[in-house]
Amino acid sequence: MTIDSPTLHIVLVRPEIPQNTGSIARLVAATRARLHLVGPLGFSLEDRYLKRAGLDYWPLVDLRTYRDWDAFGAEHPAPPAKFYSARAENSYLSAGYTRGDFLFFGSETKGLGREFIATRREHTYRIPIFEPGVRSLNLSNAVSIVVYEALRRIGALKGTV
């Protein structure tokens, strides 16, 4: 499926766990967003766990894949971007969301990387974690939290309650 003008773009950079990506694919289908997977991926797109987590919604997923960061950048040289990291200083609630934003999330074990977020500090956000013993949230949960907050802010949820 291809959406002419998706409300949001969800970008997973080097995702490693197929079940997380499958769950995010289901979220993307439900919200009519576009899913971008930037490799290298830690699994095959034919992985049974990926397919199972996405259930029978895969035909509704607007999916784009890229070999690596350079391939993504060649196709999207300067997208309206927001980056998410457990190491960021800014809260995701302080971000100014707009229709068409690209929301970037890193891999489950390495995130986006310290050097990467250091050069994008003013556009990098975190979801608060209150227990110091918890390093990060599950990737699919984090994406869900951010996506629905962004949809709320851009007015895409009006009339849905």
> pLDDT of 116-143, one tens digit each?
999 999 999 999 999 999 999 999 999 9
Q: What is the DSSP string of 134-160?
A: -----HHHHHHHHHHHHHHHTTTTTT-
Tokens 């987590």 correspond to 53
> pLDDT of 31-70, one tens digit each?
999 999 999 998 888 867 667 766 678 889 999 999 999 9
- Structural domain boundaries in the chain: 9-153
Question: pTM to 2 decimals?
Answer: 0.93
Domain spanning 9-153, CATH class: alpha beta
- Residue 1 above 60 pLDDT? no
